[in-house]
Chains A and B, each alone.
Chain A
Amino acid sequence: MRAMALQALTFVLCLLGVGCGLNRSSSPSLVSPLAGSNVGQKMPPFTARDQFGHDVSSDSLQSPNGTVLLFFRSADW
Chain B
Amino acid sequence: MAAISYDSPAILKDFADRHKIEYPLLADPQSKIIASYGVLNPEATGMMKGMAFPGYYYIDPNEIIREQYFEAKYTDRFTANNVLAKLFPELAEEVSQKVEAPHLGLELRQSDRAVAPGSRFNLTVQVDLPQDVHVYAPGVKGYKPIHLELDSSPEVQAMPPSYPISKTLYLEVIKEEVPVFEGKFRITSEAKIGANPDFIKLVGLNGRTVTVSGQLNYQACDKTICYPPTSVPVNWRLEVLPLDRQRSPEAIQHK
Interface residues of A (CB under 8 A from B): 2-3, 5-23, 26-34, 36-44, 46, 48-54, 56, 58, 61-77
Contacts and interface: CB of A to CB of B under 8 A. Distances in A.
Nearest to B68: A39
Task: Classify the secondary structure of A's interface with B.
Answer: loop
Contact of A28 (B41, B54, B61): B41
A19 B39 CA distance: 18
Contacts, number: 269
Nearest to A52: B13
A32 to B, nearest CB: 4
Contacts of B129: none
Nearest to A15: B244
5 contacts: A28-B44, A50-B26, A71-B37, A74-B5, A75-B14
A70 B80 contact: yes
B1 interface: yes
A65 B23 CA distance: 17
Contacts of A32: 39, 53, 55, 70-74
A53 to B, nearest CB: 7
Nearest to B71: A32
A75 B25 contact: yes
A72 B24 contact: no
A64 to B, nearest CB: 6
The size class of the interface chain B forms with chain A is 35 or more
Contacts of A3: 84, 91-92
B80 A31 contact: no
B16 interface: yes
> Which of A21, A36, A50: most chain B CB closer than 10 A?
A50
B98 interface: no
A72 B56 CA distance: 9
Contacts of A33: 53
B155 interface: no
B221 interface: no
A73 B65 contact: no
Contacts of B3: 9, 12, 69-72
B109 to A, nearest CB: 14
A20 B16 CA distance: 17
A51 B248 CA distance: 14
Nearest to A31: B72
Contacts of A68: 1, 56-59, 80, 83, 87
Contact of B38 (A22, A37, A52, A76): A37
B181 interface: no
